[in-house]
Every structure is written in structure tokens, then in C-alpha cells.
Amino acid sequence: MTEQQFKPELVAPAGTLEKLIWAARYGADAVYFGAEFGSLRAYAGNFSLDDAQKGIDFLHKNGKRALITLNIYPFSDEYDKLVEIAGKLSEMGADALIVADIGLIFELKKAGIKTPIHISTQANTTSSQSVLAYQQLGAARVNLARELSFEQIKKIREDTLKSGMQLEVFVHGAVCFSYSGRCAISDYLTGRKANRGECTHPCRWGYSLVEESRPGQYFPVFEDERGQYLFNDKDLALFEYIEPLKNIGVNAFKIEGRMKSVHYIASVVSLYRQLIDGKKISSEDCLKLLSRVKNRGYSTGFMKGEITPEDYSREKSDTSSEAVFVGDIVSVGDEETEIGCICHTRNKIFAGEKLEVMTPNCEISEIAMPSPLKLIDGTEVQFANNPQKIKLEQKLPPYSILRRIV
């Protein structure tokens, strides 16, 4: 598959093979993930090389692309290992390597690795000059800094259009309080470095004031009546900008969240799939759909030109959602078995309750659970726990999601 085949491309995250499959089923054109080392996810969310091969093969079989993150800022003695992994991933069929460090670009080229290079958002590219410089170094795509306004992106696109350089924009997900990843708070407070994929997210913590001679006495900090989560950005959600960004020639739209759940990935990918395909969905309905997954409130970040107090969630630091993912459809029955489909429970499901259904082709409807619930072994129950399998009369496609609206 060529670099130019999808325009624009919807790029989704995956921290596991399961999430990769869900992202693809729900309409991602490409999936990005880390493999073994060097991907800014030090503690979880990296594929083994075996799983990376399975992921690449699955994506290719389904007409989609595999983009592999190698966007750590390495120390001098780590380049050999990174180049070795990059060489293996290249041979395995990776469609692009996502890199932030300029030295690594040189090393990959020096090693003769031909897989296209995408510049990570961690490189904080904010100008046409930098985009064109990366092209000179051999990159095919730049994921622009999340700290740019729409007008600045438009200018970069105009200045670089003739070059053929691809531009990618992050359109959804958590953002950093600092310039993406250029932050030492985690390192100072916990010894875990953001640019090594170890961030403990202290920007989400609540802070108090302590006077030196009164240890243990914590004075609350109130910037205003709403509270003290001073650095807690809301999540980015650029659903209103998809059409304008398409119109100026952005080549790819990326979703953040390799650590997020399959329910999150499916729901967010599904919404942006529809928007990229040109479906008109009101902002109110987009927000309603996005309220189903965990979020800190939504913001358009720097896109509008400036950050305002409304772009922070100062009253709370945790995420919440209006829906609980309770089950997914694992197989479809037939007339002989007299089963419509089989639901695998992900959470407690009650007999007779009404649930919302989301299918991989983006249809949303309501379904009533049978009463009593019938498990696949024939037992009848008033509720089913996770993990169990329930027979349903309705024919729902595999990978449909059942969720309880709360």
C-alpha cells in the first residue's frame, strides 16, 4: 500500500492486538502502535515483535496500514538497538516509522531502512520551514504540534503543498499542559521522565500550598471558586474542524490514546470515521456521542488561536463517562441454533434492562435484554457477570458494543 493511497487517513491508536482489531473494525485507515522499545509507552501498551507481525498482517489483510512508533528521545547508547528494531519492523512490512529524534532519522537512513518516516508530534513542529527541513532529511509526513491554531496549520499547508509533504493533525484525545512531552514535572516529582514514556501525569494532580515551618499543614489553592487542578487540560476534540482541515488539504487525522479501552477506541474512531466520510453530525450530537466514553470535558485547544480558562478542567482531575461498556457481540447465530447472536459480557448485565447498541458501521440503537437472561449453557439468570456469554434473539453484527447509559 502506498503512502498516498488514503486521503485523508484516519489514524487510530492501539496498545494491544485486541485494540488494533477494534480500531480497524470501527473504520481506522491506519493504526499506530509501539513495538518492544522506543515508543514512549514504557510501562504498558507495547507490542512484542510477534504481536507486531500479527497486527501488521491483520491490517494489511483488511486494506489498512500499520504505523509503528519509535518516538522516544534516545540516549547515545540506544541508537543501535532502535535501528535494529526498526530494521526488523521494516522487514515485517511496517508502513511507516514514527520518529521524533533527528539523530534517529539519520541513523535509520544510514542503515538503509526504506520504510517511510513520519515525524511524531513530540518533535513539536510549528512551521513550514521545519516541515520542509524534515522532508530534506527524508521524512514523508509530519504530525504538526498540537499547539498550532487553524490559521497557522492553513499557512503551513499552503507553504508546503507543492512539496508533496504530508501533514497530519491530532484531532482527539488527552493533551499535555506543556508543549507535548516537553515537560519535566513528572521527572522532578517522581523521577519518571515524560520523554522516556514514563510520565506519571502530575499535571492532573491536585496541589496545595505548604509553608516551610508548618510541615503537614496543607493550605488549599483556589485559583477561583472551582478548585485547584491548576494544570489539568480538558481533552482535545476537533470534530468541528474536520471539514475545514480536510478542505485545506490535511492528509491525516490522528486520535490519541494507546492506553485507552476498546470501547473508547471504537466510539471515537466511529465518530471521526463518519465525519471524515462527510456525514453531517451536529456539534451537539458529536458531544453526545463523545460523552459515552471517559473524558475530562472537551476543548478545541489551540485551534481557535488562544487557550482560555474554559480549556482546563479545574474542578476535577479524573475522567468520567455517561456510559458503561457492558458487552460486545462475539458471534452471530443461525436458524438451526435459534440464536440471533452471542454477547460476551464486559460488565454486569441485568435481565430486562435497556441498553444502547453501537455497531461497527456506526449505527446506534436501543435493545432490551431478555428476561430472564439465557446463558449459552442453557442456564436462565436475572443478571450475568463478566465474563459470561448470553444468547440474544436480535441479529447484531460481531464487534457491536452494548452499553448502559447512566
- What is the smallest separation between the CB atom of 190 and ligand SF4, expressed in angstroms? 10
CA proximity to 403, closest of 352, 339, 346, 360: 346
Please say which residue, 147 or 159, places its beta carbon nearer to ligand SF4.
147
177 is a site residue for ligand SF4 (CB under 6 A): yes
**33 burial class (0-12, 13-18, 19+ CB within 10 angstroms)?**
buried
Count the site residues for ligand SF4 by CB under 6 A.
12
Contacts of 80 (CB under 8 A, 6+ apart): none
Alpha carbons 45 and 256: distance in angstroms, whole number = 13
Give the cell for residue 387: 465474563
Per CB under 6 A, which region of 110-118, 198-206, 216-224, 249-257 contacts ligand SF4? Answer: 198-206
14 is a site residue for ligand SF4 (CB under 6 A): no
125 is a site residue for ligand SF4 (CB under 6 A): no
- What is the smallest separation between the CB atom of 185 and ligand SF4, expressed in angstroms? 5
394 contacts 402 by C-beta, under 8 angstroms: no
- What is the smallest separation between the CB atom of 237 and ligand SF4, expressed in angstroms? 17
- What is the smallest separation between the CB atom of 124 and ligand SF4, expressed in angstroms? 12
Number of neighbours of residue 251 by Cβ within 10 angstroms: 21
Please say which residue, 186 or 388, places its beta carbon nearer to ligand SF4.
186
Per CB under 6 A, which region of 133-141, 180-188, 213-221, 373-381 contacts ligand SF4? Answer: 180-188
- What is the smallest separation between the CB atom of 134 and ligand SF4, expressed in angstroms? 23
Please say which residue, 202 or 301, places its beta carbon nearer to ligand SF4.
202
Contacts of 26 (CB under 8 A, 6+ apart): 12, 265, 266, 267, 269, 270, 273, 360, 362, 399
155 is a site residue for ligand SF4 (CB under 6 A): no
Interaxial angle between packed helices 150-160 and 128-136, expressed in degrees from 0 to 180 and rounded to the nearest 10: 40
Please say which residue, 40 or 326, places its beta carbon nearer to ligand SF4.
40
- What is the smallest separation between the CB atom of 378 and ligand SF4, expressed in angstroms? 49
297 is a site residue for ligand SF4 (CB under 6 A): no
Please say which residue, 59 or 176, places its beta carbon nearer to ligand SF4.
176
> What backbone phi and psi angles, to 5 degrees, belong to 254?
-115, 145
181 is a site residue for ligand SF4 (CB under 6 A): yes
For residue 8, whether the previous peptide bond is cis, meaning omega lies within 30 degrees of 0, is yes
275 contacts 31 by C-beta, under 8 angstroms: no
Candidates 131, 199, 255, 355: give the one binding ligand SF4 (CB under 6 A). Answer: 199
Candidates 113, 144, 153, 176: give the one binding ligand SF4 (CB under 6 A). Answer: 176
Please say which residue, 183 or 357, places its beta carbon nearer to ligand SF4.
183
DSSP string, 99-137: E--HHHHHHHHHTT--S-EEE-GGG---SHHHHHHHHHT
Q: Please report which helix (H) or strand (E) contains residue 25, including its range.
A: helix 17-25
- What is the smallest separation between the CB atom of 38 and ligand SF4, expressed in angstroms? 17
Candidates 86, 144, 185, 268: give the one binding ligand SF4 (CB under 6 A). Answer: 185
Alpha carbons 30 and 24: distance in angstroms, whole number = 7
- What is the smallest separation between the CB atom of 293 and ligand SF4, expressed in angstroms? 19
159 contacts 133 by C-beta, under 8 angstroms: no
CA proximity to 207, closest of 220, 216, 225: 220
- What is the smallest separation between the CB atom of 307 and ligand SF4, expressed in angstroms? 13
Please say which residue, 86 or 194, places its beta carbon nearer to ligand SF4.
194
186 is a site residue for ligand SF4 (CB under 6 A): yes
Please say which residue, 200 or 394, places its beta carbon nearer to ligand SF4.
200
197 is a site residue for ligand SF4 (CB under 6 A): no
Task: Indicate the SS3 state at residue 55.
Answer: helix
Helices then strands, each counted (H, E), the chain: 10, 23
Please say which residue, 120 or 345, places its beta carbon nearer to ligand SF4.
120
100 is a site residue for ligand SF4 (CB under 6 A): no
Alpha carbons 34 and 378: distance in angstroms, whole number = 42
203 is a site residue for ligand SF4 (CB under 6 A): yes
Q: Please report which helix (H) or strand (E) contains residue 366, including its range.
A: strand 364-368
Per CB under 6 A, which region of 112-120, 151-159, 182-190, 213-221 contacts ligand SF4? Answer: 182-190
**Using CB under 6 A as the criterion, which residues of the chain lie in contact with ligand SF4 when the complex forms?**
176-178, 181, 183, 185-186, 194, 199, 201-203
